């Protein structure tokens, strides 16, 4: 009878383990390439059938009938260092820590101390310090104080009990990335949703049903909305003020979505992908309610962007092959373009850069054909074409000197000749708003002052690359800003772009430390586009 109880106990513990590995985490939503759709993405650590459910919310606040959607799953090997350790012993011994663990599971801190002691002893006596696994052990049990993976530890012990072999397979960490698409959304409706695997459901989240418009749908072109825009966030303490403000924005529901202009987590691939896990869990309260649209920065390019492409599903077009490198959205009066500036710096990505550039030219041509009905074109990327160089900082000489020198010959004439209105950029860890610029010269609008641009005649450039980052204020503002610079700040924060209508845009930069506006600008135009041919040089 005692043998049956032991088996039942192990089955119960195994269900607890797998339940933890089946519980959805890292939940975030994003717009797709189609109007009236929203994609939910989440992660588990065991493969299982993903299911999502969504429902509109009535005026009384109650949900209507739930619609269930079967999702798709892609396995993702987060890391593969090739390191592992195997210890052989009599399998029955393994049941002892399982039983102890079962009782300590209800007392988190005691369990933490218990397992820290057990594995610290193993680490001290069995693992050579030069082994790469040593660093992994230290990370698990030091960083584990903020959320140790008890399920994973118990799973190792149970598997070891059954096999008689204790295998620390830190060389391979699989997770399963699940996606599900919500269809036929109404633009003036709030929805709630949940995602799950084999009955393990997430908490419910809420999102607004307005999505990007189809190419020829202009019904909502003059409905105002606000987008949150920033680059260079990360998971460290510097990022926390911005994170807290973004959580507030998500709860209040005043913003339509978020555009993150690269350098997402510093880095998604670090510590065998655990930094990517930490980041996506950190932003879940934000990105599970606000569509989280991304473009890669230089900190996402490692291992051929594997972490970025596996974690973020952006709109697909006939050229990007689902990479999320480049895409565009029509949202009210604005055509937004996202593109990956990393591709232009590396000879190994020359072919991809050519594909992207051809797509960009074609996309701008199509956007200009719709200019009367959708008059604004805004381009977003990670690396800036213009920023004021700090001559005393080596990093600034690269970020605002040598790198723009590569990008300008490729992109500046293209943006100018297609009458792009605004370029939003990151990478430099400060905030700078410039006037309308072409060929490094200020191009006067019909009316200019410090905060107004009426009928600009060239693109306006803004850098918002200081949401948090990983290095602190390592890009201090230039002591000798360029003549076209209108405002510079070292303050941490993010931008808000308010699409008012066909003729007015409003931009503001918010301090994450004070939650106050530190800069603003109105961009006003009477005509759908400026005429580049009228400018003489």
Residue 238: C-alpha distances to residues 146, 234, 235, 276, 509 (Å):
17, 8, 8, 17, 17
How many Cα atoms sit within 13 Å of 401 on the Cβ side?
A: 11
Smallest Cα–Cα separation from 110: which of 138, 102, 17, 153?
102
Strands in 257-260's sheet, in edge-to-edge order, are 292-294, 257-260, 225-230, 493-499, 504-511, 517-524, 452-454, 447-448
pLDDT at 216 over 60: no
Q: Which of 117, 88, 85 is nearest to 100 (CA)?
A: 117
For 332-341, what is the mean pLDDT?
96
Tell me the C-alpha to C-alpha distance, in Å, between residue 323 and each of 197, 295, 315, 317, 329: 26, 10, 9, 10, 16
3-class SS of residue 216 = coil
pLDDT of 21 reads 77
Q: CA–CA separation, 279 vs 470, rounded Å?
A: 13
What is the reported pLDDT for 22? 80
| Spatial CB neighbours of 318, under 8 Å, sequence gap ≥ 6 | none
pLDDT confidence of residue 533? 72
Is residue 372 over pLDDT 60?
A: yes
390-412: average pLDDT: 83
Highest mean predicted confidence (pLDDT) among 139-148, 319-328, 492-501, 524-533: 492-501
* pLDDT tier for residue 177 given thresholds of 50, 70 and 90: very high
pLDDT value at residue 338: 98
The residue with tokens 């879940």 is: 284
Pairing of β 72-80 and β 38-44: unpaired
pTM above 0.85, yes or no: no
pLDDT for 15 equals 47
Question: What pLDDT was estimated at residue 54?
Answer: 97
Residue 287 has what pLDDT? 98
Cα–Cα distance for residue pair 279/12, rounded to 1 Å: 31
Least confident of 398-407, 457-466, 508-517: 398-407
Query: What is 396-440 written as a DSSP string?
Result: HHIIIIIHHHHHHHHHHHHHHHTT--EEEE-SSSSEEEEEEEETT
pLDDT greater at residue 7 or residue 77: 77
Q: Given pLDDT bands bounded at 50, 70 and 90, which one contains residue 136?
A: very low
pLDDT at residue number 64: 65
3-state SS, residue 350: helix
What average pLDDT does range 111-127 have in this prediction? 45
Q: How confident is the model at residue 536 (pLDDT cuts 50, 70, 90)?
A: low
For 431-456, what is each residue's pLDDT tens digit? Answer: 999 999 999 999 999 999 999 999 99
Report pLDDT for 143.
Answer: 37
Closest CA to 250 of 425, 500, 494: 494
Cα separation, 240 vs 374, in Å, equals 37
Task: List, for residues 298-309, the tens digit of each pLDDT value.
Answer: 999 988 999 999
Say what the pLDDT of residue 190 is.
95
pLDDT beyond 70 at 524: yes
Report residue 394's pLDDT band, with 50, 70 and 90 as the boundaries. Answer: low
Measuring CA to CA, which residue among 182, 175, 149 is closest to residue 40?
Answer: 182
As a whole number of angstroms, the distance between CA 33 and CA 19 comes to: 33
Q: For residue 157, give the 3-state DSSP assignment.
A: helix
User: Mean per-residue pLDDT for 340-348?
Assistant: 94
Model pLDDT for residues 27-78, shown as the tens digit of each residue: 999 999 999 999 999 999 888 899 999 999 975 555 668 999 999 999 988 7
Place of tokens 């956007």: 367
Residue with tokens 């397992």: 115
The chain-wide mean pLDDT, for the chain, equals 82
Q: Going by DSSP bridges, is the β-strand pair 460-464/517-524 parallel, antiparallel, or unpaired?
A: unpaired
Q: So what's the pLDDT on residue 327? A: 98
Find the mean pLDDT for residues 263-282: 93
Encoded tokens for 431: 């905030």
Question: Is the pLDDT at 88 greater than 60, yes or no?
Answer: no
Burial of 75 (0-12, 13-18, 19+ CB in 10 A): exposed
- Model confidence at 129, in pLDDT bands (50, 70, 90)? very low
């Amino acid at each position: 009878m005692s043998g049956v109880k032991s088996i039942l106990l192990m089955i119960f513990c195994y269900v607890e383990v797998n339940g933890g590995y089946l519980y959805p985490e890292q939940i975030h939503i994003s717009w797709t390439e189609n109007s009236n759709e929203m994609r939910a993405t989440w992660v588990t650590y065991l493969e299982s059938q993903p299911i999502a459910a969504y429902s509109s919310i009535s005026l009384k606040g109650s949900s209507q009938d739930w619609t269930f959607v079967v999702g798709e799953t892609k396995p993702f090997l987060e890391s593969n260092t090739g390191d592992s350790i195997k210890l052989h012993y009599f399998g029955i011994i393994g049941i002892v820590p399982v039983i102890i663990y079962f009782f300590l599971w209800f007392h988190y801190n005691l369990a933490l101390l218990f397992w820290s002691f057990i594995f610290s002893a193993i680490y001290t006596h069995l693992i050579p310090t030069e082994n790469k696994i040593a660093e992994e052990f230290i990370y698990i049990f030091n960083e584990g104080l903020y959320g140790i993976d008890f399920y994973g530890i118990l799973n190792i012990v149970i598997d070891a009990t059954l096999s008689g072999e204790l295998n620390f397979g830190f060389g391979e960490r699989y997770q399963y990335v699940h996606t599900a698409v919500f269809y036929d959304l109404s633009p003036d409706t709030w929805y709630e949703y949940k995602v799950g695997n084999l009955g393990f459901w997430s908490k419910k989240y809420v999102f607004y049903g307005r999505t990007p418009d189809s190419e020829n749908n202009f019904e909502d072109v003059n409905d105002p909305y606000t987008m949150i825009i920033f680059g260079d966030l990360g998971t460290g303490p510097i990022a926390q003020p911005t994170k807290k403000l973004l959580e507030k924005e998500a709860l209040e529901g005043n913003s339509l979505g978020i555009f993150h202009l690269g350098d997402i987590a510093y880095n998604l691939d670090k510590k065998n992908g655990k930094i990517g896990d930490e980041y996506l869990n950190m932003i879940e309260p934000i990105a599970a309610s606000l569509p989280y649209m991304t473009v890669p920065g230089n900190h996402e390019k490692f291992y051929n962007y594997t972490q970025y492409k596996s974690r973020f599903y952006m709109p697909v077009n006939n050229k990007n092959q689902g990479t999320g490198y480049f895409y565009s959205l029509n949202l009210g009066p604005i055509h937004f373009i996202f593109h990956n500036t990393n591709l232009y710096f590396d000879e190994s990505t020359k072919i991809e850069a050519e594909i992207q550039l051809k797509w960009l030219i074609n996309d701008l041509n199509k956007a200009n054909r719709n200019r009367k009905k959708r008059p604004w074109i805004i381009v977003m990327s990670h690396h800036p074409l213009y920023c004021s160089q700090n001559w005393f900082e080596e990093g600034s000489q690269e970020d605002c000197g040598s790198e723009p020198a590569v990008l300008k010959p490729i992109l500046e004439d293209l943006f100018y000749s297609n009458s792009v209105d605004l370029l939003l950029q990151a990478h430099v860890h400060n905030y700078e708003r410039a006037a309308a610029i072409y060929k490094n010269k200020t191009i006067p609008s019909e009316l200019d002052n410090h905060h107004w641009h009426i009928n600009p005649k060239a693109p306006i450039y803004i850098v918002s690359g200081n949401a948090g980052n990983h290095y602190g204020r390592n890009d201090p503002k230039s002591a000798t800003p360029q003549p076209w610079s209108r405002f510079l700040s070292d303050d941490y924060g993010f931008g808000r772009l308010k699409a008012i209508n066909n003729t007015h845009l409003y931009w503001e930069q918010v301090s994450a430390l004070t939650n106050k506006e530190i800069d603003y600008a109105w961009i006003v135009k009477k005509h759908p586009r400026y005429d580049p041919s009228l400018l003489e040089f």
